[in-house]
Chain A
Amino acid sequence: MLSIVRDLCRHNREFRAGALLTGFIVVFAALSFVSPYAPRDVYVVPPDLPPSLAYWFGTTSRGQDVFWQLTFAIRNTMLFGFAVALLSRLISIAIGMWSGYKGGFVDRVLMSINDTFIVIPLFPLLVLFYFVMRDNMSWPLLALAMACLGWSYDARLIRSVAMSLKSREFTQQSVFSGMRTSEIVLQEHLPYVLPIVFYTTMNNMNWSIGLEVTLSVLGFTNIDTPTIGVVIYWANQHTAMVAGIWWWIFFPVLFVVILFIGLFLLAISMNEYIDPRSRLARMGGMRG
């Protein structure tokens, strides 16, 4: 594993850049643990100060230091994305591999559920979810809801790999030697599927972070927990753009964009590691 990371660092520019950007964000989020202010405290610093040596990213109209506020926000946003990705991976691996391996009736039932989830418009559903939950809305709950909605595309992807693995000789030999279905799927097939899962994890994090920011900006989440979206929500509430407090919006957007690009670069470099053919195709090797 370490040697793979080392090789990717050495030979892959996208991976290098992605690791650097994501690493920067992770270190920044880790600073939240040494923050001098609690995340929800307001009016702890003079409000509306532009970026300066004392307050690097300026202060908000609510008397918060944008720098320290952002460390909490990016940490919560990243954890949120990670939690959604992790939970939805579990669902998509389970459904995808079960459906692909079993085939037949099980496959048809699971895939019709899967396709239903693919075509459901998620955003209105999540807004509805917020209006049902109202004050009980917390970010673990939202993460769970989004994980339950975000597994379907990747379950299809994993299913297609499982179907191909099912027809390979080593699977037939496993069946012949009396391995149980669970053993075949977990021991023989899962190692094959895992690189694809890593790849989709990054994409899923991006997707969930994007959706969470959208919901938060509009105020459809718990606005007490600082996330990138919530910071922008408060900036909008205080009409920061009109008042000329640009740093209150600029820095959260900059940081979430850095996180996005970092994760995206990691995902495509991971894809290259998993499937060297995509690299060949870009080099023209397939056509040449």
Chain B
Amino acid sequence: MISAAPSLATDAPVTERVLTVRELCAYYRTRYSGVRREVRAVDGVSLHVDRNEIYGIAGESGCGKTTLIKTIVRGIRPPLAIAGGAVTLRFAGRDRDIYALDQRELENIRWRHLSYIPQSSMNVLNPVRRVRQSFVDFAYRHIGRPMPDFLQRVESHLDRVRLEPAVLDSYPHELSVGMRQRVTIALASICRPDFIVADEPTSALDVVVQKEVLGMLHDVQQEIDSSMILVTHDIGVHANVTDRLGIMYAGRLVEEGRAAEVIRNPRHPYTSNLVTSLPRIGDVTQKCGLDGAPPNLADPPPGCRFHPRCPLAMATCRAESPPLVDVARGHRVACWVTAPPTSPGTVQ
């Protein structure tokens, strides 16, 4: 179902960077009865996505995945606030800082250039509105065509995700979970956006439906020639769909590279543990988890945020935060032990 992704070396000049995130920091700032708290959910993340590429983000719950992509689509609400960094999106041949756009420009780029499938996206459809009305509410204003044209297009687009036009006249509760998910995928891609951000689009589905939905997501993405960020904690999904994969831990990107490379040859100790925790058929070895729990992001540990749980931790790890360094072409790792900045493998 999934064709081999074309090889996209990150530094090849032919590729076009659709999204660049530079040193992005997003904090939840709260103040209850005089006590200030600052949860550093995303802390200094840099990444980029090329045209026609699926960029995967993986990591455990609470590591900042969702916060990161909410920040990328500028879907933030207080108490979440941007503390630094920039998100640059390339559309219509120009690079634009998404936080420099005014409200009107922002409305214009949404859906046409940037669409978002939020977490638990099955609840995206209003339970008291028919599916057709949801399409009209969300997408009609962005498509700039008369209503009959728009509805025609919706119908033909639903056909892409193998849904009958009759679905349009149903209420969300009349559809199965898989159908609703396909409706939201159709909704997000109806305007042929340059960029789709999908937050756990398949986590509520069983594996059979999941495979089908992922295949469709991938097909639609290929067909309308857009790029995508796909967030899920399911490494199996990444192995199948994702071109490049970023691993997040405690608000930071700890490893990034071609998906197959990261999964087959993980360099960061967290990634290694994540990958070895995957069950494989025929594998009878006892799985053991890491000790400890992910850090409290309101009070993260000094140095490398993984050091309290890391089996390889050394003195430097406790004192200083490791930078992301290239260990191979397009493979970046932030670890003092496995990828020291002075190691011979460094290409800087």
Task: List residues of A whose CB falls within 8 A of some B CB.
Answer: 168-170, 172-179, 183, 187-188, 191-192
Contacts and interface: CB of A to CB of B under 8 A. Distances in A.
A173 B138 contact: yes
Contact of A188 (B120, B123, B129): B129
A188 to B, nearest CB: 5
Given A168-B123, A178-B107, A191-B128, A173 B118 contact: yes
B52 interface: no
Nearest to A178: B107
Contact of B111 (A175, A177, A183, A192): A177
Per DSSP, chain A at the interface is: helix
B181 interface: no
B123 A174 contact: no
Interface string B276-299: 000000000000000000000000
A188 B75 contact: no
28 contacts: A169-B118, A169-B121, A169-B123, A170-B124, A170-B125, A172-B75, A172-B118, A173-B118, A173-B138, A174-B138, A175-B75, A176-B75, A176-B110, A176-B116, A176-B118, A177-B110, A177-B111, A177-B139, A177-B141, A177-B142, A178-B111, A178-B141, A178-B142, A179-B137, A187-B137, A188-B129, A191-B126, A191-B129
Contacts of B134: 170
Contacts of A174: 137-138
Given A177-B141, A179-B138, A191-B126, 4 more contacts: A169-B123, A170-B134, A173-B124, A178-B111
A38 to B, nearest CB: 48
A211 B142 CA distance: 52
B73 interface: yes
A169 B138 contact: no
The 4 lowest CB-CB distance pairs between A and B, nearest first, are A178-B107, A169-B123, A191-B128, A177-B138
A191 B128 CA distance: 7
A108 to B, nearest CB: 16
A183 B140 CA distance: 13
Contacts of A169: 118-121, 123-124
Contacts of B127: 192
Contacts of A192: 126-128
Contacts of A178: 106-107, 110-111, 141-142
B73 A176 contact: yes
B271 to A, nearest CB: 31
A168 B123 CA distance: 7
Identify the interface centre among A174, A176, A178: most chain B CB within 10 Å of its CB.
A176
Contacts of B118: 169, 172-173, 176
Interface in B19-60: none
Contacts of B138: 173-174, 177, 179
A187 B133 CA distance: 10
Identify the interface centre among A170, A175, A183: most chain B CB within 10 Å of its CB.
A170
Nearest to A183: B137
Contacts of A172: 75, 118
Nearest to B188: A173
B109 to A, nearest CB: 10
Contacts of B141: 177-179
A56 B139 CA distance: 64
B262 to A, nearest CB: 30
A161 B115 CA distance: 28
Nearest to A171: B126
Identify the interface centre among A173, A188, A191: most chain B CB within 10 Å of its CB.
A173
Contacts of B116: 173, 176
